[in-house]
Chains A and B, each alone.
Chain A
Amino acid sequence: MSLPNISDYHVPDNAEDAIALLKQYGDSAMIVAGGTFVHGLEVRGVLGDIEALIDIGRLGLDGIEFGADGLRLGATAVFAQLEAHAAIGDDPAFGAIVDALACPPTQIRNTGTVAGCLAASAPLYDLPAALLALDGAAEVLGDSGRRTIPLCDFFTGLFENALQPHEIITSISLPKLPPGTVSAFLKLETNANDLAIINVAVRFTLDGDACRDCRIIVGGGVGETYVRAAGAEAALEGAPAGDAGFEAAAAAVTNDIDPVTDHRGSREYRRHIAGIYTRRALDNALARFG
């Protein structure tokens, strides 16, 4: 526990200045978007080494674009903007995003940002699970230029990610998914403000009545980072959408995860619920089809 020692709050108006500030401060600066996560760190006394906050809210990174190659979510777009965007709300493929965004309360939806939520790198958050299931990628800018980090490679540990020093996320890109793709997300929580005990994001494309390109992502208290439930995905791949295929996937999930026991629940409880929530999420996704 340490007292905060923050002596400067910078609000650059272009990305190059933001990168330059990051370089100048090195480890003693932290990027702020909406501010909810950073403030949480500050009140928990873990920002003792941080001297400066660099606010990326005025870099014009808050747009949402939908085009032929997919969806691009600006880094500082807030959850409420995503919720209000027709390209997201009207497309059953993006159902998991809609579901994830319905979880936090109004005040968080008006403040939390896409990039902030991802950069926090906590498996307890909701939107990242949905973006993982939709094969999202982080578009990143740093002093050595731009690069793309697929989200499946982004999270490297609890509160750790693949961003290099002097890099910021500028947007999240989601590929255009084939017609017949549906997704859904479900979260088990004690109340609207709490973190996930377990959450599940699922996505598949209906090919005839078979499920293809299946993604099942489990978050919450499942360890250091989100888990891609490969066994459950394999059980679902090619199976007919409905009871048999979904039950097989739900049963397989319990072997894919190694949950923790903490004050929110035991590992056995989480393992049990993960299967149930996988089944329900798959049902919810299927209900979006057609």
Chain B
Amino acid sequence: MKKLIRLQVNGEAHELAVNPDETLLQVLRGQLDLIGPKKGCDSGGCGCCTVELDGKAIYACMKYAASADGGEITTAEGLSQDGELHVIQQAFVDAGAVQCGYCTCGMMMAARQLVDTVENPGEDEIRQAISGNLCRCTGYVNIVKAVQHAAATTDRDGE
């Protein structure tokens, strides 16, 4: 029996009918056409499905949508505001941290909290933040640089 749930996704309110074991990943991609979160392993091992739920990075592939009723979700699509790239998106572009791009959305969502809260994270700290995200292209080097740069250039005075 489908369940009716309410989700706030990238600032927009939605009322959705979901199957009892439908995951957030299925709902975001299948019902809301948000393709930032991707289906890689579908079992919480690769990280390319990473989104934020109530401000915390989670694997959308293993979160039952019905359990997220009332939650606020941010996907990679929700990072840019008014047509301007988020500092973390710009940093990934500038650092050459994107090759095939499949891991990129998940990487940014996993690192976003660190970027927002720590001005000069060390390499170990960054690698810890993205330890749940696999990249098969880049070797992570430029991803780490992108996160460092994003953290350093985040406007903290304006908050």
Residues of A within 8 A of B (CB): 4, 6-9, 11, 32, 35-36, 39-40, 42-43, 52-53, 55, 57, 80, 104-108, 110-111, 191-193
Contact = CB atoms under 8 A, between A and B. Distances in A.
A42 B50 contact: no
A192 B132 contact: yes
Given A32-B64, A55-B67, A80 B56 contact: yes
A205 B69 CA distance: 45
Contacts of A7: 1, 20
Contact of A9 (B3, B43, B44, B45): B3
Given A9-B20, A39-B43, 17 more contacts: A7-B20, A8-B1, A35-B62, A35-B63, A39-B63, A40-B44, A43-B42, A55-B64, A105-B130, A105-B133, A106-B129, A107-B58, A108-B59, A111-B59, A111-B62, A192-B132, A193-B131
Given A4-B21, A7-B20, A39 B3 contact: no
23 contacts: A8-B20, A9-B3, A9-B21, A9-B66, A9-B67, A36-B44, A36-B62, A39-B44, A39-B62, A53-B20, A105-B130, A106-B57, A106-B113, A106-B129, A106-B132, A107-B50, A107-B58, A108-B44, A108-B59, A110-B53, A110-B57, A111-B59, A193-B45
B89 interface: no
B150 to A, nearest CB: 16
B58 A40 contact: no
Q: Most chain-A CB neighbours within 10 Å: which of B62, B63, B131?
A: B62
Contacts of B128: 106
Q: Taking each of B53, B56, B64, B69, which has the highest tally of chain A beta carbons within 10 Å of its own beta carbon?
A: B64
Contacts of A57: 67
Contact-residue bracket for chain B: 20 to 34
Given A6-B21, A193-B132, A11 B57 contact: no
B57 A6 contact: no
Interface in B31-88: 42-45, 47, 50, 53, 56-59, 61-64, 66-67, 69
A110 B3 contact: no
B59 A107 contact: yes
